Amino acid sequence: MTRGAWLVLVGAGAGAGAVACTGSGNPPPEGSSPGTAAVSTVVPSETDARVTRVEELLRGVPGLEVTRLGTGAYQIRIRGHRSIRGNPGDDDPLIVIDGVPSTAGSAALADLSPRDVARIEVLKDAGATSMYGSRGANGVIVITTKRAR
């Protein structure tokens, strides 16, 4: 029996210049797709012109909870609460805007205009968030602005 490593390269899109790489010691079973991950993409359209907050663009994404708090701020959770300590901030997803991870959590979205957003990707599982390491344990929201394209 021959042993070896396998590698799958998946393009991120036409002209994106990025490649996702997935690998393991054993090849995947027949009929399965090794490059799949739980990723949802939101591309704002003309019908979203009335939206005043980026958080509102995220409503309706499967597995994503967007809750408006009494303070006017928003709480974002990918696939529910995960922290066993009970700290609300421990469940915040990593927010990446134009390739720069934000340390402000979901508060970083308050300063971003929905009209400036070209694309939002919500990475929900370990396979999708692996490139962000432990910071992506609660999911990752990747925002590409029109200026960065």
Domain locations in the chain as residue ranges: 1-36, 37-145
Where do we find the tokens 């990475």?
123
Task: Check residue 22 and give its pLDDT.
Answer: 46
- Sequence-distant contacts of 52-59: CB under 8 A, at least 24 apart: 52/114, 53/109, 53/110, 53/114, 54/109, 54/112, 54/113, 54/114, 54/117, 54/120, 54/143, 55/106, 55/109, 56/114, 57/114, 57/117, 57/120, 58/120, 58/122, 58/141
pLDDT, tens digit, 9 for 90 and up, residues 42-81: 888 887 888 889 999 998 888 888 989 899 888 888 877 6
Question: For residue 92, what pLDDT band results from cuts at 50, 70 and 90?
Answer: confident
CATH topology of domain 37-145: Ferric Hydroxamate Uptake Protein; Chain A, domain 1 (2.170.130)
